Structure 1
Amino acid sequence: MTIKVGDRIPDATLYVMSEQGPQAVKAAEFFKGKKVALFALPGAFTPTCSAKHLPGFIEKYDDLKKKGVETIACLSVNDAFVMGNWGKAQNVGDKVVMLADGSGELTKAIGMEFDLTARGMGVRSQRYSMLVDDGVVKQLNLEKPGAFEVSDANTLFSQI
């Protein structure tokens, strides 16, 4: 079942790259007590994700902060090494937390998995954005497969 507005983000273990290597982050703790602009995408270093999706949230950083968003996070079914290096390549700095859901634990728990096995990519995440306030989904923008029309930073910004 796909997560919907009003649902709580389930707990799952995600990872972020740190100076010491991959660090586990519990989703329940990550989303607790703050407003988070979360966007997810099929894969790091892929064309639309690298050219449009991630850069849009970097560009909208100041505007989202002014609307009360405390954290912007990018989630993908990639490992922490890939997400960390992609963040460096995209110059995210501390504007976007690069969340690795390497085994798809959270992605599957919220019903957002997308099977790209036929294209050699395995099971990934669908493309979406959401506003999460203290662990509860307040906005959700799920893309149709292959589209990039509603999960962008401008759309989420307009909904806050």
Structure 2
Amino acid sequence: MIQVGSTLPEVDFGLLVNGEMTNPGTNELFSDKRVVMFAVPGAFTPTCSQAHLPGFVALADKIKAKGIDSIICLSVNDAFVMDAWGKANNADEIIMLADGNGHFTKQIGLDMNTSNFGGLRSLRYSMLVEDGEVKKLNLEDPGRFEVSDAQSMLDSL
């Protein structure tokens, strides 16, 4: 499992930009940047839609004011779902990144099997990444939402 001090693996993601599919890689998203990334088990799911994403939407300006270049929301969903979820939540300041087949999530060891309702999903977490290296990792126990929220990340910056 990834931990503080680890370097993110090079993976291509899915991202809709102006309605067009793009596939930015880890280097493009994280090299020479300070990035806050948070991951959710699924777009449009209750805790993710009612608390996790909205918290980062509300605090995006304050987080960026701490020297953060970008905020990324990651989920094992496709880019079309992530784009629609971002639009439904006014997440204009957040990169809604799709790990459609879970390659990144599996490589960092933060995957879980939710076969009874979705299959491969990401554990819930937030992390601070500087130039591709994990500097902070706030990993939730399954079913919890206590340490990966936007306010906790803001407080730690």
SS in 1 for 2:13: strand
- The CA distance in 2 between the partners of 1:44 and 1:22, in whole Å, is 18
- The CA distance in 1 between the partners of 2:80 and 2:89, in whole Å, is 14
SS in 2 for 1:13: coil
1:6 paired to 2:19: no
Deviates more, 1:36-45 or 1:55-64: 55-64
Letter of the structure 2 residue corresponding to residue 103 of structure 1 = N
**Residue 31 of structure 2 aligns with which residue?**
32
Aligned pairs (5 A) from 1:83-98: 83-93=82-92, 95-98=93-96
Letter of the structure 2 residue corresponding to residue 35 of structure 1 = R
Letter of the structure 1 residue corresponding to residue 61 of structure 2 = D
Letter of the structure 1 residue corresponding to residue 107 of structure 2 = A
Residue 105 (structure 2) aligned to one of 88, 104, 107: 107
Question: Deviation at 1:124?
Answer: 0.3
- The CA distance in 2 between the partners of 1:34 and 1:12, in whole Å, is 17
Q: Give aligned-pair identity as a percent.
A: 50
Question: What's the TM-score once normalised by structure 2's chain length?
Answer: 0.97
Deviations 1:62-116 (A, max 9, x none): 11111101100000000000001111111111x1000000000110010010100
**Residue 80 of structure 1 aligns with which residue?**
79
**Residue 147 of structure 1 aligns with which residue?**
144
- The CA distance in 2 between the partners of 1:21 and 1:116, in whole Å, is 30
Question: Deviation at 1:20?
Answer: 4.4
Residue 125 (structure 1) aligned to one of 88, 101, 122: 122
Residue 134 (structure 1) aligned to one of 120, 127, 131: 131
Question: Deviation at 1:21?
Answer: 2.5
Number of aligned positions between the proteins: 157
- The CA distance in 2 between the partners of 1:111 and 1:156, in whole Å, is 21
Question: Deviation at 1:22?
Answer: 1.8
Letter of the structure 2 residue corresponding to residue 129 of structure 1 = S
Letter of the structure 2 residue corresponding to residue 106 of structure 1 = F
Letter of the structure 2 residue corresponding to residue 76 of structure 1 = S
After superposition, the CA RMSD in angstroms is 0.8
Question: Deviation at 1:19?
Answer: 2.5
Question: What's the TM-score once normalised by structure 1's chain length?
Answer: 0.96
Aligned pairs (5 A) from 1:33-72: 33-72=32-71
1:116 paired to 2:104: no
Question: Deviation at 1:120?
Answer: 2.3
- The CA distance in 2 between the partners of 1:63 and 1:125, in whole Å, is 26
Letter of the structure 1 residue corresponding to residue 20 of structure 2 = G
Q: Which runs of 5+ in 1 are unaligned?
A: none
Letter of the structure 2 residue corresponding to residue 58 of structure 1 = V
User: Where do 4+ consecutive residues of structure 1 move more than 4 Å?
Assistant: none
